[in-house]
Structure 1
Amino acid sequence: MNQVQLDRMKNGLGFIAALDQSGGSTPKALKLYGINESRYSNDDEMFRLVHEMRTRIIKSPSFTKEHILGAILFENTMDRKIDGLYTADYLWNIEGIVPFLKIDKGLEEINENGVQLMKPIDGLDLLLKRAVERNIFGTKMRSVIKKANKEGIKEVVEQQFELAKVIASYGLVPIIEPEVDINIKDKKEAEAILLEELERNLKLLDKRTLVIFKLSLPTVANLYKPLLNDHRLVRIVALSGGYSREKANEILSKNSGVIASFSRALSEGLSDAQTAEEFDKTLKVAVDSIYKASIK
């Protein structure tokens, strides 16, 4: 584990940029960027285009370590290069931004307890070894909670923590992401149960194991703040979860100690057709507003 990167993630001012749309969500991300399916005919072409989009974001003068602590990458992005360097090396060595890797392989169908667990991650050990070789600092994995069901939420959190222990054994810091769907009618109740499960499982962790929580913006402001008292928790970051950037920033700014890890809310308004000046200006508005909401 890189101690300089750890200190930055624990104490730095800023937020984490989520640039980790995977195979299933890449076409949607490209379409929002103004590139439709007619521009590519296979996965290789699609991933090349999305890498060009991410490279444009990363190399923008608006995307800086003064505002951005870390960036989450998709596996395909980790294996590609920017200016001759692997993406993670470019992020850290050139930009001073801590690299993370999304490792989950998507979600199972909603089960009887109203949650979507992660699908099995085939080849996890090999992936984690490659992440270490590529100088990745930490990982991210997502589950989804669709109902305030104690058994279901317990399943989600326990699955996340079991994987987190494996990830930590490689010297990586796992981002645990049990997303609560912002559209469910019992979101507040689901979040109360989630807090209990996160507290319980955090206390069971080995004292040397470090984790980051990535959570939906809560209905009750500062709900998750008590978790920050545990030294094993490096940081709490928030996903935008479908909120507009304006709404996500508004809610985030009410939650002390929580910083952003936005994806769609970060890239909102960016377009392939924009000039460099237009692109950088649009990204700067996003970065500045998310940074301001993150540091309160």
Structure 2
Amino acid sequence: MSKTSDQHAQMHSGAGFIAALDQSGGSTPKALGLYGVDSNDYDTEDEMFGEIQKMRERIILADDFSGKKVIGAILFERTMHESIDGKKVPDYLWENCNVVPFLKIDKGLEDEAHGVQLMKPMPDLDATLQTAAKAGIYGTKERSVINTADAEGIEKVVAQQFEVARQVIAAGLVPIIEPEVNIHSDTKAEAEELLKAAIQKHLDTLADGDDVMLKLTIPNVAGLYDDLADHARVVRVVALSGGYSTDEACEKLAKNSKMIASFSRALTEGLQRAMTDAEFNAALGANIDKIYRASI
């Protein structure tokens, strides 16, 4: 099999989860703060991204970060051009860790309207996708947010997600469609029912071979998204932690047998820059094992 078909097989049926290492400009300061890097430790945006890259590299180099439990990893765009041990990060992930590389492509969220936040425009998306394909990226991830069970808003989110997904597919990559439902929403369960119906409708419009992945908030009703996971055009349904603690996210995920994790904050919970490598690797390994068990 080719590299791409090996990766596709791993994403379709591999045991494990996807690590979300795609903190962007907006979420990086908080992630660094939790890691023990204060804003006083860097002066410029470049220095801030340098600090988060050190954290990501430490995670990727840890013994437990391998395809045995971590089957994929989502990268921030800058990370795609960084190197580890002389290899570009996407190549290092696949060749050294057997972890399939993805790329976050969205540029943040619009202001809320109709209870949702659409993705901001991505005017350079075609160029980004070409660069990603050449860099060995398997797929992309693009996030929007649903705050209220508003049928019109949810349809707008899903329609935009599938419009972008088609652009990604045309570039030879597999899109992870991520319409996150806010875990604090008073109408979360109702929003999830509307979201499922909208996704189902749009999935049925995809041509044979136009495959996607779905990244969804863990639903209030366990098994709600099983039908989506079984759809012929869906490679995998993955779950975001959405602000739940690692334990809570894993407990909820374990009740959804056709979803695997794609956690960010829950993956790095408890990690500290001041830890020795042995302490860091033990803490990360415990998180990885917990999330892996919930995913299988």
Q: Shorter-normalised TM-score: what interval?
A: over 0.9
Match of 1:188 in 2: 189
Instruction: Report the alpha carbon displacement of residue 98 of structure 1 after superposing the two structures with TM.
Output: 0.1
Question: Secondary structure in 2 aligned to 1:122?
Answer: coil
Match of 1:176 in 2: 177
Query: Take 1:75 and 1:227, find their aligned partners in 2: how far apart are those partners?
Result: 29
Amino acid at match of 2:261: A
Query: Take 1:122 and 1:169, find their aligned partners in 2: how far apart are those partners?
Result: 16
Match of 1:36 in 2: 38
Question: Secondary structure in 2 aligned to 1:204?
Answer: coil
Query: Take 1:90 and 1:180, find their aligned partners in 2: how far apart are those partners?
Result: 33
Q: TM-score, normalised by structure 1?
A: 0.98
Amino acid at match of 1:197: A
Instruction: Report the alpha carbon displacement of residue 29 of structure 1 after superposing the two structures with TM.
Output: 0.8
Match of 1:231 in 2: 232
Instruction: Report the alpha carbon displacement of residue 228 of structure 1 after superposing the two structures with TM.
Output: 2.0
Query: Take 2:184 and 2:234, find their aligned partners in 1: how far apart are those partners?
Result: 27
| Equivalent residue runs for 1:87-236 within 5 Å | 87-111=89-113, 113-236=114-237
- Partner of residue 27 from structure 2, selected from 25, 28, 33: 25
| Equivalent residue runs for 1:46-65 within 5 Å | 46-65=48-67
Match of 2:83 in 1: 81
Match of 2:262 in 1: 261
Query: Take 1:2 and 1:284, find their aligned partners in 2: how far apart are those partners?
Result: 28
Query: Take 1:230 and 1:219, find their aligned partners in 2: how far apart are those partners?
Result: 21
How many residue pairs get aligned? The number is 294
Question: Secondary structure in 2 aligned to 1:206?
Answer: coil
Query: Take 2:283 and 2:202, find their aligned partners in 1: how far apart are those partners?
Result: 40
Please, what is the CA RMSD of the aligned residues?
0.7
Q: TM-score, normalised by structure 2?
A: 0.98
Question: Secondary structure in 2 aligned to 1:2?
Answer: helix
Question: Secondary structure in 2 aligned to 1:132?
Answer: helix
Query: Take 2:175 and 2:19, find their aligned partners in 1: how far apart are those partners?
Result: 16
Runs of 4+ in structure 1 deviating by more than 6 angstroms, as ranges, are: none
Match of 1:243 in 2: 244
Amino acid at match of 1:66: K
Amino acid at match of 2:245: S
Post-superposition Cα deviations, 1:56-97, rounded to whole Å, max 9, x if no partner, equal 000001211110100000001111111111100000011110
Query: Take 1:215 and 1:43, find their aligned partners in 2: how far apart are those partners?
Result: 30
Post-superposition Cα deviations, 1:124-144, rounded to whole Å, max 9, x if no partner, equal 111001101110000000000
Query: Take 2:14 and 2:125, find their aligned partners in 1: how far apart are those partners?
Result: 30
Identity of aligned residues (%): 53
Amino acid at match of 1:261: S
Instruction: Report the alpha carbon displacement of residue 229 of structure 1 after superposing the two structures with TM.
Output: 2.1
Post-superposition Cα deviations, 1:143-163, rounded to whole Å, max 9, x if no partner, equal 000100100000000000000
In the alignment, structure 1 segments of 5+ residues that lack a partner are none
Question: Secondary structure in 2 aligned to 1:72?
Answer: strand
